[in-house]
Amino acid sequence: MEKGKDLSKIDEVLSQRVEEVLPKKEGLKKLMQERKIRVYLGVDPTGKNLHLGHTIPLRKLQEFADLGHEAILVMGTGTVLAGDPSQRESARPKILEKEIKENIKTWKKQVSNILDFSKVKIRQNGEWLLKLKLKDIIDIASNVSAVRLFQRDMFQKRISSGNTVWLHEVLYPVLQGYDSVFMDVDLEVGGSDQVFNMLVGRELQQKIRKKEKYVLTCPMILGTDGKTMSKTSGNCIWINDSPKDKFGKVMSVPDDLIISYFKNLTNVSLGRISQHKKDLQTGRNPKEVKKELAFEIVKTYNSQREAEEARREFEKIFEEKQAPSEMAEFSFQEKKMNILDLLVKTKMAFSKGEAKRLVVQGGVRIRENTWTDWKGEVELTPGVVINVGKRKFAKIK
RNA sequence: GGGCAGAUGGCAGAGCGGUCAAUUGCAUCAGACUGUAAAUCUGACGACUUCGGUCUUCGGGGGUUCAAAUCCCUCUCUGCCCA
């Protein structure tokens, strides 16, 4: 049997890392057995970086491609101009064309570890959205109820708190929905925050082309502080983060997210994950499980080798409290220097005031001994290691 | 077109003539503790300083006053409501 039509494979793709399939999983399953389907994932190039949450639908898209279906990644060069209002308490700031181009460039690089571009096509929806004439837009819009667009949670919240909703924001789902029609897709995948937008596309497809479009939503991942991962809250683990940072950030994630991270962000088998779950319940040190998670994540998004290095560094610095193997080095003409000046010059403090604070609070160590005299002079012998807090290190050359 | 509200430190948001370098929350940083960069607790959080202080900050400009984030004028910007 062709692997694309293997029922158990189809089942797997439609259930693992999937929140729900609308309107019904059965119909899509049947369709996938009958023929090659066209599936797409849309992303708006709003920022420079992608975080781990974005990887879930991206990987899902690749899975469809691997089964031999036609997968398209759409860069929202048209929709980004309207700005997706989903989960937004205020309108997005306008974006410049230059930024859009740069974002697309860096995004391609970032997803290249996840998507196989020989199987996944990339398109830009500006290609068709920006060519629409007023008449086209009116035609499309006549298929969507304005009341429905306004009923969205976020809009209601804004209205009741005295904020406004802009017309272009209301238009957003309509534009995104038209992507489905233009490309004539059978399925759209996206994060569960996208259900509304994706369903508008389904409705348009039904009304304009008289065809069914399925919608598959992926779970959203929570960030390092246990709240929804989002740029503005600064709780993201970025694809671009260095292996060391990624490892550390995963270690700082709340314990009860461990299993969900395993499921959604790694390739670890379900059997192994349920073993981890049992271990956690029976009192195994969550730190150990989390270290394994961090290792897996770095391995998935970077490489096995980098994962091993990151783990070693982590153990060294935080468990054995040793200095990292690599640190910034500084060389000076002077033989001695005031501790405050030294901290500022080695960029471990932004100002002398901050440097003083760090010294007084006992956060500064020189040669592993806490240095408390903020008026003191430090001898700049080569090889001396200065560290501030747990994470900042510098060495005299 | 009419009416009204507002602009304060990274963000949110108090203050409404002196005791304001500016309450508080979040974020951040350090310390203690720990299993982690978790949680919790403690402290810090404009700059400079001979550690006594000094200087620059509350949208821009001007003014009143011994004294202004706070009052007046003006400019710029933003939001809401009605039409």
Which residues 194-253 in chain A have a CB closer than 7 A to strand B? 225, 234, 244-245, 247-249, 251-252
For residue A99, say whether its CB is under 7 Å from any atom of strand B. Answer: no
Residue A355: pLDDT band by 50, 70, 90 thresholds? very high
For residue A156, say whether its CB is under 7 Å from any atom of strand B. Answer: no
Residue–nucleotide distance: A167 CA to B1 C1' (Å): 22
| Helix axes of A286-301 and A270-281: crossing angle, nearest 10 degrees | 150
Segment A153-204, tens digit of pLDDT: 777 776 666 666 777 778 888 888 888 888 888 899 988 888 888 888 898 8
Residue–nucleotide distance: A65 CA to B56 C1' (Å): 60
> What ipTM was reported for this prediction?
0.81
Which nucleotide is the nearest neighbour of A391, by CA and C1'? B37
Q: Which nucleotides of B are covered by protein (CB under 7 A)?
A: 27-32, 35-39, 43-49, 51, 79-81
| A107/A47 Cα distance (integer angstroms) | 9
Which nucleotide is the nearest neighbour of A162, by CA and C1'? B80
For residue A303, say whether its CB is under 7 Å from any atom of strand B. Answer: no
Segment A73-124, tens digit of pLDDT: 998 888 877 767 666 666 666 666 777 788 888 888 888 888 888 888 889 8
Residue–nucleotide distance: A91 CA to B77 C1' (Å): 18
pTM: 0.77
Tell me what the pLDDT averaged over chain A comes to: 82
Beta strands of chain A (E only): which ranges?
Answer: 20-22, 38-43, 70-75, 120-124, 187-191, 214-218, 328-330, 336-338, 364-366, 369-370, 377-379, 385-388, 392-396
Nearest to A364 by CA among A323, A393, A322: A393
